[in-house]
Structure 1
Amino acid sequence: MDPLPSRDLDMEGQPGTANQFGDRNRMFPNFGGSQKNIEGSSYESGGGVMNIERAETPPAPFAIIPFSRDPDFVNRGGILDQIYGRCSEPAGRVSLVGLGGVGKSQLAIECAYRVAAEQTNKWIFWIHAGTQARVEEGFRTIADAVKLPGRNQPKADIPQLVYSWLSNERNGRWVIVLDSADDSDVFYSTTGPTPKSKPLATYLPQSRNGAILVTTRNKNLARRLTGNDANILDVGPMVEADALSLLKKKLGLLDIDRATELVRVLEYVPLAISQAAGYIRARAPRSSPEKYLDEFRAGERKRIKLLGHDGGDLRRDGSASNAILTTWQISFEHICSKRPSATDLLSLMSFFDRQGISESLLKDSDGAQCVKINKKLEAGESESEDDCNEAEDMFEDDVAMLRDYCLVSTNEAGDVFEMHGLVQLSTRKWLEARGLQEKFKAQFVKRMAMSFPRGDYSNWVICRRLFVHVEKAMGCRPADGEMEEVWARLLYNGGWYAWLQGQYEIAERMVDKARRTREKRLGREDEASLQSVLLYASVMKARGRWKEAESLFVQVMETSSRVLGEEHPDTLTSMANLASTYRNQGRWKEAESLEVQVMETFKRVLGEEHPHTLTSMANLASTYRNQGRWKEAESLFVQVVETSSRVLGEEHPSTLTSMANLASTFWNQGRWKEAESLGVQVMETRKRVLGEEHPSTLTSMANLAITWENQGRHSDALVLMRDCAEARRRLLGENHPNTLSSLAAVAAWSI
Structure 2
Amino acid sequence: MSTQSPRPSRPKDRYGFEIAIICALPLEADAIEALFDHYWDDDGSPFDKGPGDPNAYSTGVIGRHNVVLSYMPGIGIANAAAVASNCGKSFPGTKLALVVGICGVVPFKPDKDEIVLGDVIISDGIVQYDFGRQLPDRFARKDTLLDLLGRPNQEIRGILAKLRSLWHRRQLSAKIAEYLEILRQEPGLRAEYPGVTKDRLFEASYRHTEDQKSCEQLGCNGELVLRSRLETAGVRPTPAVHFGLMASGNSVMKSGEDRDRIAVQEGVIAFEMEGAGVWDSFPCIVIKGACDYADSHKNKDWQRYAAATAAACAKAFLRFWVPSSTQGLAATSCLSLDDRIFFDQNRTAGAVDSSQTQPAFLIPFSKNDLFVGRDDVLTELQGLLFNRGYQKVALVGLGGIGKTQIALQLAYQIKEKKQDYSVFWVPALSRASFEQACIQIIDACGIPTTDNSDAVETVRQHLSSKRAGKWLLVVDNADDMQTVMGSRGVDDGLYRSLPQGDEGRILFTTRYRKVAVSVAGRNILDVPAMDRDEARRYFKEALIQEISSSDEQVIDYLLALLAHLPLAITQAAAYLNENQISLTEYLQLFENTDRDKIELLGAEFQDDTRYEQSQDPVATTWFISFNQIRKADELASRVLMFLAYVEPKAVPQSMLPEGESQQQLTRAIGTLCGYRFLDKRGSSEVFDMHSLVHLATRSWVAENDSEKEQSQAAIARVSEVFPTDKWENRDVWRQYLPHAIKLLRCAEDDWSEEICKLGYWAGRCLLVDGRVTEAVELLEHVVAVNETTLADNHPSRLALQHELARAYRANGQIKEAVELLEHVVAVRMTTLAENHPSRLASQHALAMAYQANGQIEEAVKLHEHVAAIMETTSAENHPDRLASQHALALGYQDNGQIAEAVKLLEHVVTVRRTTLAENHPDRLASQHALALGYQDNGQIAEAVKLLEHVVAIEAEILAEDDHRRQLSEDQLQRCYEMLEGASSIVESEASVHDEEM
TM-score if structure 2 supplies the norm length? Answer: 0.56
Q: Which residue of 2 aligns with 1:235?
A: 527
Q: Output the amino acid matched with 2:480.
A: D
Find the aligned partners of 2:774 and 2:912 in 1 and give their Cα distance: 29
Q: Which residue of 2 aligns with 1:634?
A: 902
Find the aligned partners of 2:426 and 2:461 in 1 and give their Cα distance: 17
Once the 2 structures are TM-superposed, how far is the Cα of residue 712 of structure 1 from its aligned partner? 6.4
8 Å contact kept, 1:220–1:404: yes
8 Å contact kept, 2:899–2:937: no
Q: Which residue of 2 aligns with 1:80?
A: 378
Q: Which residue of 1 aligns with 2:714?
A: 444
Q: Output the amino acid matched with 1:74.
A: G
Could you tell me which of 272, 275, 282 is aligned with 2:568?
Answer: 272
Q: Output the amino acid matched with 1:536.
A: L
Could you say what secondary structure the match of 1:288 adopts?
helix
Q: Which residue of 2 aligns with 1:44?
A: none
Could you tell me which of 102, 126, 142 is aligned with 2:441?
Answer: 142
1:351–1:120 CA distance, 2 compared to 1 (3 A): same
Residues 193-248 of structure 1 show CA distances to partners (whole Å, capped at 9, x for unaligned) of xx9x975434422223332211112233323333x12x211224345665566556
Once the 2 structures are TM-superposed, how far is the Cα of residue 95 of structure 1 from its aligned partner? 0.7
Q: Output the amino acid matched with 1:702.
A: D
8 Å contact kept, 1:65–1:112: no
Asked if residue 174 in structure 1 is aligned to residue 466 in structure 2, the reply is no
Asked if residue 126 in structure 1 is aligned to residue 425 in structure 2, the reply is yes
Asked if residue 111 in structure 1 is aligned to residue 410 in structure 2, the reply is yes
Q: Which residue of 1 aligns with 2:614?
A: 320
Could you tell me which of 754, 760, 766 is aligned with 1:486?
Answer: 754
Q: Output the amino acid matched with 1:682.
A: V
8 Å contact kept, 1:348–1:444: yes
8 Å contact kept, 1:624–1:630: yes
Q: Which residue of 1 aligns with 2:786?
A: 518
Q: Output the amino acid matched with 1:453.
A: P
Residues 260-313 of structure 1 show CA distances to partners (whole Å, capped at 9, x for unaligned) of 655554444333344445556666655528x73x66566544443343333443
Q: Output the amino acid matched with 1:318.
A: E
Q: Pairwise mapping of residues 692-731 of structure 1 onto structure 2 (< 5 A)?
A: 692-708=960-976, 710=978
Q: Which residue of 2 aligns with 1:506?
A: 774
Asked if residue 337 in structure 1 is aligned to residue 625 in structure 2, the reply is no
Could you tell me which of 410, 425, 431 is aligned with 2:695?
Answer: 425
Could you tell me which of 934, 942, 947 is aligned with 1:674?
Answer: 942
Could you say what secondary structure the match of 2:841 adopts?
helix
Find the aligned partners of 1:281 and 1:628 in 2 and give their Cα distance: 77
Residues 547-596 of structure 1 show CA distances to partners (whole Å, capped at 9, x for unaligned) of 33333333323333344466544344334333433433444444444434
Q: What is the aligned-residue RMSD (CA, Å)?
A: 3.7
1:343–1:600 CA distance, 2 compared to 1 (3 A): same
8 Å contact kept, 1:281–1:287: no
Residues 175-197 of structure 1 show CA distances to partners (whole Å, capped at 9, x for unaligned) of 22211111234344499xxx9x9
Find the aligned partners of 2:607 and 2:932 in 1 and give their Cα distance: 69
Once the 2 structures are TM-superposed, how far is the Cα of residue 426 of structure 1 from its aligned partner? 2.4
1:659–1:302 CA distance, 2 compared to 1 (3 A): farther
1:646–1:244 CA distance, 2 compared to 1 (3 A): farther
Asked if residue 213 in structure 1 is aligned to residue 507 in structure 2, the reply is yes
Q: Which residue of 1 aligns with 2:370?
A: 71
Once the 2 structures are TM-superposed, how far is the Cα of residue 489 of structure 1 from its aligned partner? 1.1
Structure in which a larger fraction of residues adopt helix: 1
Once the 2 structures are TM-superposed, how far is the Cα of residue 341 of structure 1 from its aligned partner? 4.2
Runs (5+) with no aligned partner, structure 2: 1-351, 982-997
1:309–1:546 CA distance, 2 compared to 1 (3 A): farther
Could you say what secondary structure the match of 2:612 adopts?
coil
Q: Output the amino acid matched with 2:409.
A: E
Could you say what secondary structure the match of 1:474 adopts?
helix
8 Å contact kept, 1:534–1:556: yes
Q: Output the amino acid matched with 2:934.
A: F
1:242–1:577 CA distance, 2 compared to 1 (3 A): farther
Could you tell me which of 797, 807, 813 is aligned with 1:545?
Answer: 813
8 Å contact kept, 1:180–1:215: yes
Find the aligned partners of 2:553 and 2:829 in 1 and give their Cα distance: 56
Find the aligned partners of 1:489 and 1:88 in 2 and give their Cα distance: 61
Residues 103-134 of structure 1 show CA distances to partners (whole Å, capped at 9, x for unaligned) of 21122122223223322343322222211111
Could you tell me which of 346, 349, 370 is aligned with 2:640?
Answer: 346
Residues 327-362 of structure 1 show CA distances to partners (whole Å, capped at 9, x for unaligned) of 111012123233444323433344444455455444
1:268–1:681 CA distance, 2 compared to 1 (3 A): farther
Asked if residue 614 in structure 1 is aligned to residue 614 in structure 2, the reply is no
1:508–1:161 CA distance, 2 compared to 1 (3 A): same
Find the aligned partners of 2:712 and 2:353 in 1 and give their Cα distance: 67
Q: Output the amino acid matched with 1:237.
A: A
Q: Which moved more, 1:342-351 or 1:130-139?
A: 342-351
Q: Output the amino acid matched with 2:779.
A: V
1:177–1:491 CA distance, 2 compared to 1 (3 A): same
8 Å contact kept, 1:95–1:222: yes
TM-score if structure 1 supplies the norm length? Answer: 0.73
1:171–1:696 CA distance, 2 compared to 1 (3 A): same
Runs (5+) with no aligned partner, structure 1: 1-21, 27-57, 370-390, 714-751
Could you say what secondary structure the match of 1:120 adopts?
coil
Find the aligned partners of 1:91 and 1:459 in 2 and give their Cα distance: 50
Give identity over the alignment, percent: 28
Could you tell me which of 747, 764, 771 is aligned with 1:477?
Answer: 747
Residues 630-684 of structure 1 show CA distances to partners (whole Å, capped at 9, x for unaligned) of 4343333223322333344544322211211222333445654433322221122
Q: Output the amino acid matched with 1:328.
A: W
Residues 701-733 of structure 1 show CA distances to partners (whole Å, capped at 9, x for unaligned) of 3323444455669xxxxxxxxxxxxxxxxxxxx
Q: Which moved more, 1:268-277 or 1:487-496?
A: 268-277
Q: Which residue of 2 aligns with 1:159?
A: 456
1:663–1:405 CA distance, 2 compared to 1 (3 A): same
8 Å contact kept, 1:533–1:556: yes
Q: Output the amino acid matched with 1:211.
A: R
Once the 2 structures are TM-superposed, how far is the Cα of residue 530 of structure 1 from its aligned partner? 1.3
Once the 2 structures are TM-superposed, how far is the Cα of residue 23 of structure 1 from its aligned partner? 7.6
Could you say what secondary structure the match of 2:392 adopts?
strand
8 Å contact kept, 1:65–1:109: no
Q: Which residue of 2 aligns with 1:527?
A: 795
1:510–1:273 CA distance, 2 compared to 1 (3 A): farther
Could you say what secondary structure the match of 1:550 adopts?
helix
1:694–1:67 CA distance, 2 compared to 1 (3 A): farther
Q: Would you say how many aligned residue pairs link Structure 1 and Structure 2?
A: 624
Could you say what secondary structure the match of 1:138 adopts?
helix
1:278–1:604 CA distance, 2 compared to 1 (3 A): farther
Q: Which residue of 2 aligns with 1:383?
A: none
Q: Output the amino acid matched with 1:316.
A: R
8 Å contact kept, 1:445–1:476: no
